[in-house]
Each structure stands twice: as C-alpha cells, then as structure tokens.
Amino acid sequence: MSTRASQKAARFTESVIREMTRLANLHGAVNLSQGFPDFPAPVEVKQAAREAIAGDVNQYAITWGAKTLRDAIARKFQQLYGVPVDPEREVTVTCGSTEAMIATLLAVLDPGDEVIVFEPFYENYGPDAILSGAIPRFVKLRPPLWSFDPEDLKRAFTEKTRAIVINTPNNPTGKVFTREELTLIAELVLAHDALAITDEIYEHILYDGAVHVPMAALPGMAERTITINGMSKTYSVTGWRVGWAIAPPLLTGAIRKVHDFLTVGAAAPLQQAGALALALPEAYYSDLAAAYARRRERLLPVLERAGFRVHRPNGAYYVMTEIDGLGWDDDVEFARYLVEKIGVAVVPGSSFYADPKDGSRQVRFAFCKRDETLDEAERRLFKLRPR
C-alpha cells in the first residue's frame, strides 16, 4: 500500500522524551522531563549571533562547517585534552550532536554490522542504529555506580562488531566513565579493530571532582574514535542546533558526505556565535559546573523526601530514581499520573532500555532548571503520597 511507513520507520516509536514535553505543556506541568535549560544563554554568545545576522552571515556556510568554528573546535579540544585536531580534515559541523551521531553511524556502519550500546542509553541511539541498518548489542550499566561487568562487555564484542557507542558524562544515569573503564573499552576496541563513537556533550558538567576523560586521548584511540559534541548543553542553546564530530580524516570524509546530503549545513550565523562561545575563558566552565552542582543539591533532597530512591549523578544534569518505594511498578503509568495529577513531567525509565521491563521502576528527572522552577516542582511533589 502506498500509504504505509517504511519498515525502518515502523521499527521505532516517536521520542518519549519529546512526548513528555508536549504532555507537560498540555497539563501545565513543571517540565523536568526534556533536558533543556529554562534559563538564559550567555549574553555575549547571544550578542555574537545577533551581530552575525546583522553582518549578513545569512547564506550557507561551507557544508562541513564555518572555518572559524572548526578552528575553535580543534583549538579547544587540543588545549583541554592534548589531542591534536586538524580543523581542515577532522571536523564536521552538524545540526546538533543529534545529526553528528546519525551521520556518523550512517557513514561507518553497514547493514548487519553490530554496534555495542551501554544500557540505559540516551533514547536516540536505538533508532539511530536501526536507521543505519546495524544490529545493536546492549551492555548493562548497573546501579548504584552504573558500572558494567567487564565479562558482559567482552561477550558483547564479536567478529561483527564495528563500533561501540559511549556517552560520558552519561544521560540518563549521570555516570562519568572512569579512565580504567575507558581503558578496558579501548583495549577491546583495538583488539577487534572496531571504532569508538563517543558522545561527550556533557563534558563540562561534572560533580564532586569527577574528571572527564575523552576516549580520543587514550593511547592509539584518536585514530579510531569519533568524538561527538555540540553547543546545546555547554552554552544552554539546545534550540540552536549546532553540533560537531571530530574524527580521523578518512572517516571525516565519509561523515561529511552523509552530512552534506542530510542537511547541507548548520545555521551559519549561529556557527559564527559558536566560534566566540568556544573561546570563553575557563571561568565560564567552572561556573557552569558549580551552578549545576547547586541545582543538583536543590533537587535531590526534594526527591528523597517525596519518596524516590535516588541515584546521585556524578555528571550531566539528570537523576535516575527508583519508584518502587512509592508503590508503583509501571513507570509509564506513574509518569502519566505525575504529569496529570501532581503537575510534574518526568521521563519513564523504560524509554532508556531495549526491554521496557528493565526500566519499569525508574523515572528520570532533569534539573537544568531555574530555582523558581525547582521550587515549584518541590511544592507540587509535596502532594505525592505512596500508593
């Protein structure tokens, strides 16, 4: 029938996270579901965008990214992590890190290839794997530390493994992968001649002295790592849709081709503003992390008092919680109750697992929100009672 969806499109549902935002708007709920800040972006970054438009930076940038932004991306990565990056041959600017991820998977995976994904995972990775025709193999991260069993990981690598997706600091768990864990992953990647695809979009949002170790900085890994990042989280501009992929030249060539035919390019004036943003002084990043640490300290006790069992995050701006203490064992039912009757929107845990059962007693809160928003969430959660 001509009106049917493709088999690929039929194999995944629409985003639960974005659906929760729509429900939050419908019910006038405090939205602690989707990970976007409700506070202003830095003044100087917004000013740079205004100036770029006023200066008529209004036409297509070079498809793989404006030179000023690519230079800034390469310089920042090298300065922070000591990994040299050639902005001419190793950087592709995309429409958000979302496009960087799908363009990368389409560029490096063939149908039938296997891609290893840690679970719970950021929900996009499932559909991304399907769209690229690859077979995802999941390795569990287990609370309280969200660590993985090295034996599980070794078993997940097969002769068909082409890549492993790592997200550190991690959404939804708040885990920051340690150097030891990353070293073990790197050894397996090297032994299987595979690729590491690392989503490092929360690299600056770290707590309690946690340190971000980029996979590309480990010995032998720069040649086989695609590092994905973007402006969304670090500069509080999730709606600008500017992201990038750093990869060795051969892979970058493939990523650039896919990117060109997917979107041509990211918004030119916002790329210009990105170049300024990436040159902000160190203090900007330490202030950002400190502000998120305060928000974490604000929300976590509220959740504990409300009856949630809380897994304290080490990085990113989410907290995974267990709802069994509140008498619920169905995360979707609970999230609906919470948004409709209590007026707080969260993301059901099942959206982060291949088998929904695995997340049926969890929900995720986002705390990238103003004090007033968190205060209002506290007032509303005060009404929550165990069933």
Mark the segment that binds ligand PLP (CB under 6 A) among 7-15, 138-146, 230-238, 305-313: 230-238
Of the candidates 42, 136, 230, 349, which one interacts with ligand PLP according to CB under 6 A?
230
Per the listing, tokens 């088999």 go with 7
Residue closer to ligand PLP (CB basis): 306 or 369? 369
DSSP 47-100: HHHHHHHHTT--SPPPTT--HHHHHHHHHHHHHHH-----TTTSEEEESHHHHH
x/- map, 122-151, ligand PLP, by CB under 6 A: x-----------------------------
Residue closer to ligand PLP (CB basis): 307 or 359? 359
CA atoms of 96 and 102, how far apart (whole Å): 10
CA atoms of 100 and 231, how far apart (whole Å): 12
Cα–Cα distance list, 129 to 124, 160, 193, 366 (Å): 9, 14, 19, 25
Binding to ligand PLP, residues 167-206 (CB under 6 A): 167, 171, 199, 201
Total binding residues toward ligand PLP, as defined by CB under 6 A:
13
Cβ at position 307, least distance to ligand PLP in Å: 26
**Nearest to ligand PLP by Cβ — which residue?**
96
Cβ at position 18, least distance to ligand PLP in Å: 10
Phi and psi, residue 198, nearest 5°: -115, 125
Binding to ligand PLP, residues 21-40 (CB under 6 A): 35
CA atoms of 14 and 132, how far apart (whole Å): 17
Phi and psi, residue 303, nearest 5°: -65, -40
386, containing H or E segment: none
Cβ at position 122, least distance to ligand PLP in Å: 4
Of the candidates 31, 92, 98, 351, which one interacts with ligand PLP according to CB under 6 A?
98
| Contact flag: residue 238 with ligand PLP (CB under 6 A) | yes
Residue closer to ligand PLP (CB basis): 31 or 167? 167
Which residues neighbour 252 within 8 Å (Cβ) at sequence distance 6 or greater? 64, 89, 90, 91, 92, 245
Which residues neighbour 130 within 8 Å (Cβ) at sequence distance 6 or greater? 8, 11, 12, 136
Residue closer to ligand PLP (CB basis): 41 or 384? 41
Count of residues making up the chain: 387
Of the candidates 37, 65, 87, 243, which one interacts with ligand PLP according to CB under 6 A?
243
Of the candidates 65, 96, 265, 313, which one interacts with ligand PLP according to CB under 6 A?
96
Write out the residues near ligand PLP by the rule CB under 6 A: 35, 96-98, 122, 167, 171, 199, 201, 230, 232, 238, 243
